[in-house]
Amino acid sequence: MGKEKLKILLVDDDEDDYIITQDLLSEIRMRKFDLSWEKSYENALKVLSVNQFDLCLFDYRLGAKTGLDLLQEVVKIGYKGPIIILTGQDDQEIDKEVMKAGASDYLVKGQINSSLFERSIRHALERKRAEEALVASKDYAENLINSSIDMIVATNTDRLITEFNPAAQKVFGYNKYDVLYKPFHFLFANPNEWLQISKKIEQEKVFSGEVIKKKKTGETFHSYLSASVLRDLKGEEVGIIGISRDITVQKRLEAQLLYNAFHDSLTGLPNRKLFMNHLEKVIACAQTNKGFLFAVLFLDIDRFKVINDSLGHAIGDKLLISIAERLKECLRHNDIVARFGGDEFVILLNDIREKSCAKVIAEKILKSLKEPFYLNGHSVFTGTSIGIVLSEEYYDRPEDILRDADTVMYRAKMNGRSNYAMFDKKMHAHAVKALQLEADLQKAIVNNEFKMYYQPIVSLVDGNIIGVESLLRWEHPQSGLISPAEFIPLAEETGMIEPIGRWVIKEALSQNKVWLDAGYSNTSLSVNVSARQFRSRNLPEVIQRILEETGMNSKAFDLEITESSVMEDMDRGIKTLEELSGMGIKIMLDDFGTGFSSINNLRFLPVSGIKIDLSLTKDVAISPGAATIAKAIIQMAHGLNKKVVAEGVETEAQLEFLRSHNCDMAQGYLFGKPMPANELVKVLQKNNTAHRVLSNKKFSPSNTSLQKSFANSFAT
């Protein structure tokens, strides 16, 4: 007990009993008491209506009334403390009656001592506190249940509903009294599901998971249920309590996200990911069932970019949607058509009986897509190029099939638009070789198998070597020297060209620094930059870093870039060229004459010169047409104050033509093949000697012996 005085009210019409009570309380040492005394029933009611006491002691005999009557009356007027009934006689019936009415204890006056009195008071107070705590706990639990946003349903041991909170009433549509003492399973869409859950609760005492419930309207919905055994204060099982939350919106969102992850947002067709999943399954089926045959069709829409650019993206999108619908109409129910993005569609012909089936469907598609599309008042005509790959025993990866289908689709496009082509074994052998080459190329980067070769560039004014073009070679450990024409396109396609390109620039600049330090200061270095490198936004930054690392001056450095690389994105290309030019690097436009768009745009490009492609150079001495074009290119370039280099010069006749039409520089086998750095040094030495001789003589197209001497001076 605490140290504060306990306020006690004694209601007894006998003063002796008051004195005895006072004496008994004074003998209790553990606590102090403040005892008040009222003689009559009426006075006790008045006092208790305005004052609260920690404990009341009522004599059972109070004139015409009893202590039991007083107990019942004071409870009505709001007294909440414990009440002990005192009586002069030991009567078990009275004892039962007062205890049943709510008294905390029943004491016989003649049998009371201080110890018994202290214990009775203490137990009365503790019992009252426990009752209050229980009521508070019950109120708290009820408030939690009633205010919870989750559905709470409780049952008894017979699995009949005993609690159904407001959240449950709102979701299910039932009033609480509609469901009380009805079996729990009637809230489930499938009663058997509840049966399984009930068994699990019996075995494991808990359950949690997704279930499907049923509303009053009959509508079903997904919910997450957490259920467990419900126990009383003694630990006895009294039923089950289940807490549920409606997850319909969540399930709908999950389903939508799942759908979006596997479908194209524009056409609603399966996307690459879903298509690859299906393709993996049919490959596995074909591997276990030799008679199972399937085909993959890779489609690229003809002229789509032209339509999209001319009529707008809105029409382009509608065209793609319409194409998707027509493709579905051409297929069987178990075939799959997917959109991979842009204007690329891929079809899986599942379980075809024979190879000709793929051709029949391809022809059906070609015919369907040739029909006009009527979009927003426009009649739009298009077609498709289709690459077909049939399942064979050598396919075990979806990526390989798609690669081959894409490859043969381009074959169909080359054969004429609105056409199809079949992938054959020769193409497969080539694809396998390409795969091996790709793997070897990866190793070549790691093992540093690349070598740099150099070809002199000579001035056609005085015959001096004024530049060197660096050319990459791959020295394969087994296959020997591999042509750049064979591995550069692969490096471009796979992205390996960027690390290779950085190595080329650094290696070439480092070598040129050696030559410059050795006294060959009039020789500039040309390095080819691939289309993919040129598209990289950080190319100027990469080159600047390499210049700093090698100690090279940018003014002795030329970059050769193909016209097609620049024309692919002219605005961005010009910006990159301006950055490079601003660093002091000279830009040469390579392969000039093979494209068609740069002739008009050459005046806008910040380049120092152009290189006439060898395909044009080789015919200038034998073809009037080639000669006319070459002459026009030289005149046009000079008119724009740009230098001209002719590639692929192999004969004296070609040299004579170029000299007679004032071409500035030339390179080719006539002056020297591409060679390693140690051989080029010898050529540079011979060039210095020859140039000293030739500089004292007249160098002209009519001096044949001098031309031969000029050419022979560069022979290796």
What is the rounded CA–CA span in Å between residue 444 and residue 446?
Answer: 5
Q: Which residues, listed in sequence order, are joined to residue 222 by a DSSP beta bridge?
A: 212
**Which pair of structure tokens corresponds to residue 636?**
């046009």
Q: 337 by DSSP, 3-state: which? A: strand
What is the rounded CA–CA span in Å between residue 550 and residue 505?
Answer: 10
pLDDT at 321 over 70: yes
Q: Which residues, listed in sequence order, are joined to residue 681 by a DSSP beta bridge?
A: none
pLDDT at position 29: 79
- Find which of 67-81, 320-334, 553-567 is predicted with most confidence, using mean pLDDT: 320-334
Q: Indicate left, alpha or beta for 510 from its phi (over 0: left) and psi (-120 to 50: alpha).
A: alpha
* Pairing label, strands 220-231, 206-214: antiparallel
Please name each of the domains of the chain with its CATH number: 6-143 (3.40.50.2300), 148-251 (3.30.450.20), 263-423 (3.30.70.270), 451-712 (3.20.20.450)
Query: Cα separations (Å) of 315 from 299, 300, 303, 319, 577?
Result: 20, 18, 13, 6, 35
For 532, half-sphere exposure in the C-beta direction (CA atoms, 13 angstrom radius) is 15
Q: For 658-693, how does the pLDDT look when each residue is reduced to its tens digit (9 = 90+)?
A: 999 999 999 999 999 999 999 998 888 887 766 654
pLDDT at position 217: 93
Orientation angle between helical segments 624-639 and 652-660, nearest 10 degrees: 40
* Pairing label, strands 295-302, 383-390: antiparallel
Query: Cα separations (Å) of 6 from 31, 81, 87, 713?
Result: 8, 12, 22, 127
**Which pair of structure tokens corresponds to residue 712?**
């022979």
What is the average pLDDT across 295-318? 90
CB 605 within 8 A of CB 633: no
119: which residues sit within 8 A by CB, 6+ positions away?
none
> Which DSSP category does 5 fall into?
P
Q: For 123-164, how does the pLDDT look when each residue is reduced to its tens digit (9 = 90+)?
A: 888 888 877 766 666 666 666 677 788 899 999 999 999 999
Helices marked H in 531-623: 531-535, 539-550, 563-568, 570-582, 598-601, 614-617
Least confident of 225-234, 326-335, 342-351: 225-234
Q: 371 by DSSP, 3-state: which? A: coil
What is the rounded CA–CA span in Å between residue 33 and residue 121?
Answer: 11
CB 153 within 8 A of CB 244: yes
Top-confidence residue, 704 or 626:
626
> Which DSSP category does 187 fall into?
G
**Which pair of structure tokens corresponds to residue 431?**
């694809």
What is the rounded CA–CA span in Å between residue 106 and residue 134?
Answer: 23
Orientation angle between helical segments 704-712 and 677-694, nearest 10 degrees: 150
Least confident of 101-110, 257-266, 502-511: 101-110
Top-confidence residue, 1 or 228:
228
Q: 222 by DSSP, 3-state: which? A: strand
